[in-house]
């Protein structure tokens, strides 16, 4: 294969880049618009107004761009190549000696650059923006509650401040409760002096009130410091458990964490005998993200050499959506099976792109014949 890129590679890349970016903008725009509509039911709670809702959605745009990119890549690539095929430019490029493999490399090279940018976005802007959005919404809806970027959930009741690193809603039959992890309670005196700090490994909100487990409390007297440890302790509080649950979910959703945070969470849960499967699912999903994008697009490219030549934009759009939706459903099925039957998530994520690449190789050979 001749050195890459040549002028024809750049031309193909520009066409594909333009259609991918246009498709991407439309998909992200529609997703953001639907998100704004979904926020309407929360407008009016506390200080959360329409401007706050717009700001909340704006912060989530980087995360939405990361999520929508695989679909935009396959649809945009097919539309770009279909445009070249319908104008006979692909035929002309083939006539001067360009192989189907070289054309595919030109497309893959363009998508690879965008994929790298999206991987960086998924580890930086995406999680940062989501945290800012969650913090903005939580603080606007309740003046006594905020989701901080690195220190978890903060809530206030009178002179007591609560900090929890994570939380989730638990269910056991008909019984359900809110559970917060790594909880600290800071109690202040009327004059602003810190009276005590309590650390609880877990806090459970039951119908009878809050139950703190494995509590270590430090009291700060005027001339001394004392410590106590108890297995369980009741805490009388009127904090809104529903609001706490919603905010706790914001800081516990694995799909919004970085790969480093997911890896740390997996190690923490395994050390403490907790279920880490949801975190493993999203952790390995991050690593297979670029493979999924390129495999999906390479599997769809052979259609540009025949099926799309005589089809219009609607046909290209339909084929792109079918490929993207089919791949998404297939991969979700394998990942769900991995969660149920407890086999390695890497195997689950590897099978769909392998299948797509096999389809691509078969179609290339068939159209070459």
Q: Please, what's the largest Cα pairwise distance for the chain?
A: 90
The three-state secondary structure class of 147 is: strand
From 2.60.420, 3.90.1280, 3.40.50, 2.60.450, which CATH number describes the 147-254 domain?
2.60.450
Tell me the pLDDT tens digit for each residue of 290-341: 998 888 887 777 766 655 455 555 666 677 677 777 888 888 888 888 888 8
Question: For the chain, where do the domains classified as CATH 2.60.450 start and end?
Answer: 147-254
**Which residue, among 73, 154, 66, has the nearest Cα to 112 in the 3D structure?**
73
* % of the chain residues with pLDDT over 70: 82
C-alpha to C-alpha distances, 58 to 63, 69, 122, 138, 235, nearest whole angstrom: 10, 17, 16, 16, 38
Q: Which pLDDT does position 150 carry in this prediction? A: 46
At residue 30, does pLDDT exceed 90?
yes
Q: Which pLDDT does position 304 carry in this prediction? A: 65
Confidence band, pLDDT 50/70/90 cuts, at residue 288: very high
At residue 85, does pLDDT exceed 80?
no
* % of the chain residues with pLDDT over 90: 19
Q: How far apart are CA 285 and CA 265, in angstroms?
A: 15
At residue 227, does pLDDT exceed 60?
yes
Q: Which pLDDT does position 312 carry in this prediction? A: 57
Cβ 177 vs Cβ 169: under 8 Å: yes
Q: Which pLDDT does position 115 carry in this prediction? A: 94
At residue 22, does pLDDT exceed 90?
yes
Those residues whose C-beta lies under 8 Å from the C-beta of residue 50, and which sit 6 or more positions away, are 43
Cβ 73 vs Cβ 296: under 8 Å: yes
Q: Which pLDDT does position 276 carry in this prediction? A: 80
Whole-model pTM above 0.75?
A: no
Confidence band, pLDDT 50/70/90 cuts, at residue 269: confident
Q: Which pLDDT does position 149 carry in this prediction? A: 46
**Which residue, among 344, 212, 205, has the nearest Cα to 288 in the 3D structure?**
344
* Backbone angles phi and psi of 227, in degrees to 5: -130, 145
**Which residue, among 186, 157, 196, 182, has the nearest Cα to 248 in the 3D structure?**
182
Q: How far apart are CA 223 and CA 3, in angstroms?
A: 77
Cβ atoms < 10 Å from Cβ of 2: 9
Cβ atoms < 10 Å from Cβ of 48: 20
Structure tokens, 303: 């259609």
The vertex-340 CA angle with 336 and 346, nearest 5°, equals 60
């Amino acid at each position: 294969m001749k050195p890459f890129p040549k002028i024809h590679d750049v031309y193909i890349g520009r066409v594909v880049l333009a259609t991918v970016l246009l498709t991407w903008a439309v998909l992200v725009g529609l997703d953001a618009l639907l998100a704004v509509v979904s926020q309407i039911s929360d407008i009016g709670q506390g200080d959360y107004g329409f401007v706050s809702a717009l700001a909340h959605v704006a912060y989530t745009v980087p995360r939405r761009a990361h999520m929508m990119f695989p679909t935009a890549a396959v649809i945009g690539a097919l539309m770009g190549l279909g445009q070249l095929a319908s104008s006979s430019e692909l035929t002309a490029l083939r006539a001067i000696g360009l192989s189907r493999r070289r054309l595919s490399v030109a497309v893959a090279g363009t998508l690879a650059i965008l994929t790298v940018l999206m991987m960086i976005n998924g580890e930086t802007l995406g999680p940062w923006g989501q945290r800012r959005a969650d913090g903005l919404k939580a603080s606007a809806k309740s003046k006594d509650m905020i989701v901080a970027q690195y220190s978890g959930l903060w809530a206030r009741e009178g002179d007591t401040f609560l900090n929890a690193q994570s939380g989730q809603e638990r269910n056991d039959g008909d019984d359900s409760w809110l559970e917060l992890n790594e909880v600290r309670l800071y109690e202040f005196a009327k004059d602003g002096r810190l009276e005590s700090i309590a650390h609880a490994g877990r806090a459970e909100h039951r119908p009878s009130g809050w139950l703190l487990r494995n509590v270590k409390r430090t009291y700060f007297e005027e001339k001394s410091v004392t410590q106590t440890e108890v297995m369980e302790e009741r805490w009388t509080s009127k904090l809104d458990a529903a609001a706490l649950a919603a905010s706790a979910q914001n800081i516990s959703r694995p799909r919004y964490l970085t790969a480093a945070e997911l890896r740390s969470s997996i190690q923490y849960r395994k050390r403490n005998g907790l279920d880490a499967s949801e975190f493993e699912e999203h952790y390995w999903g991050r690593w297979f993200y670029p493979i999924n994008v390129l495999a999906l697009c390479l599997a769809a490219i052979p259609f540009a050499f025949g099926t799309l030549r005589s089809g219009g934009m609607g046909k290209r759009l339909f084929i792109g959506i079918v490929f993207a939706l089919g791949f998404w459903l297939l991969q979700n099925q394998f990942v769900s099976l991995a969660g149920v039957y407890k086999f390695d998530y890497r195997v689950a994520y590897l099978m769909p792109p392998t299948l797509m690449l096999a389809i691509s190789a078969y179609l290339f050979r068939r159209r070459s014949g």
